[in-house]
Amino acid sequence: MVSFVGGPCYTAARLSNQVFTDQPLTGPDEGTLPTLQEGSLSSDFVPYEPHFSTILTVLAALVLLAAALAFGWLSVAVPRLDRVSSPERALALMVSRTMDLEEAFARAQAWERQLYDVTMGDGINELAQAISWYEELAAYSSDPLVQLRLAVLEAEAGRLDQVRARTKEWDGREEPFPSFVRLIRAAYLEPRTDPAVEMELQAELAELLPSGWFYDRLATHLAMRAGHRSRLASIERESGKRAAPLLQRTREFLAVDLSLILIGTLVLLVVLARRRSNLMRVGMAPLPPMWGGRVGVVVMIRGGAIGTVLALGLMFFEMDSPLLRVIALPVTNLPLLVLAYRHLLKPTELGFGDGLGLWPVSAGWGRCALAVPAVVAVGLLGEWGVSLATDSLSLSSHWTEWFDSDLVWGTGPVLAVSLLEYVVIAPVFEEIAFRGLLFATLRRKFGWGASALISGAIFATAHGYGVVGFVSVFWSGLVWAWAYEKTGSLLPGMAAHMLNNLMVCLMVLWLLRF
């Protein structure tokens, strides 16, 4: 199954300590980032230590803790299927398109199949995975077609004993179950079907199921048992028409991925060959940052708490409004940004542009254009490794983690707002919060590795995914923290984050919407 992770989501997260030191910044032409070493304070330097009410800070921390506990409880208590509108329709579409794509892969040349196996998983467990999801849906939904589709999947997997037991269970029940029994027995359990009966069953099938993979499998087996060759050829043509665009889009996505990896790898090799090269230097954000660790923790706790309260307030409004969706994330992040500017950046006289590397140095935009493919390449290679590892362990993300009703079925305005939110707004604010503030504040106390691990774990937890999704987002968090450390700017990480989310959205759109 094609797995989409790294979906757009944001929550406040906060940590760590120490004071800021006063070491002059090196200029952009020196090729080194400013680093603040202990013991470098000038004799007349007084650290900026504003007075914060301990009571208010503790209350803010309790608000954040309560929000985190509520988020965790909802993640466990609310059934996954409740999080998707019309799960019956959604799962039928997803499984049908995925199985169409798997059949297209099977018809590809051997070298192409091997390439897909390495980059997208071998697909061995696709059928078993679909069956487990449909078993979950059958226990949740009373829609009779869920039972029929589950029987088709079981029959295609060769689980005929389970299919026989299922048809016996359907005996004596009211329509449409008698029709299901006739179709399943004629298609999978009886050695041969009379041609006249087959024509009647084909007409019955056309009334029960819409066109797609499930319809094709039943229609194919009915035609095979009746020896209806012209019907088999017609079904094969229709299946090919559906699968060909999916395979072509997959080829295009893979070509883009491989191109980015190739370009990024070349950039990394050049940088490694020139060890003192400043090719990756985009901005001059000081790491560790020029603010105290204690102040950074308080700012993130308070800003996160206010943002949480605002988010709860917005829940009372109609969130289907495109305008409200566009402003929701900026509004809930505004308190954190205001506090960060006032207490972390303004006292250093750097501001967001210099303090987070959002204003590139001389030639910085060109270096950013080189750095982004390098960051994306590292991210993609890691994602492939995660995919191979999870496939070997028979782990997968739940389909509800990446299915997005607004992308698949939303109107034009809803789709446009969703893309703006996922591809532009979320990456900008997530990178500022998790890398620019959280990771940077952790750097006051820890090295970049520990800081990246802690901030990446919080970033992944905030998305609320399962094990596979957590690992994937965690890896992305590590890569984007590395990018910030090495480039001195949030811009490469933001761009890579945007590109990652764009590719995920386009894959969902092209696989499920068009």
Domain residue spans of the chain: 28-78+278-513, 87-244
User: Distance (Å, rounded) from C-alpha 114 to C-alpha 67?
Assistant: 45
pLDDT in the model for residue 18: 30
Which pLDDT belongs to residue 1? 41
pLDDT of residue 21: 30
User: DSSP letters along 382-404, please?
Assistant: HHHHHHHHHHHTT----GGGT--
Q: Give CA separation, 468 vs 149, 251, 464, 471, 474, in Å.
A: 26, 24, 11, 5, 10
At which residue do the structure tokens 């809930």 appear? 332
DSSP-assigned letter for residue 142: -
| Nearest in space to 221 (alpha carbons), one of 191, 199, 188 | 188
Q: Residue 96 — φ and ψ, nearest 5°?
A: -60, -45
Instruction: Collect the ranges in the chain with pLDDT lower than 70.
Output: 1-48, 120-124, 276-277, 318-320
Q: Give pLDDT tens digits for 474-497.
A: 999 999 999 999 999 999 999 999
- Amino acid 105: pLDDT: 87
Question: What is the pLDDT at residue 349?
Answer: 86
pLDDT at 336: 97
Burial zone of 80 (CB within 10 Å; 0-12 exposed, 13-18 middle, 19+ buried): middle
User: Which pTM does this prediction carry?
Assistant: 0.87
- Greatest Cα pair distance in the chain: 99
Tell me whether the omega of the peptide bond preceding residue 176 falls within 30 degrees of 0, making it cis. Answer: yes
The per-residue pLDDT for range 251-292, each reduced to its tens digit, is: 999 999 999 999 999 999 988 888 766 788 999 999 999 999
E strand or H helix that includes residue 332: helix 322-340
CA distance 304 to 127: 43
Q: Go through 381-400 and write b for each residue having 16 or more CB atoms within 10 A of its CB, e for each that does not.
A: bbbbebbeebbeeeebbbbb
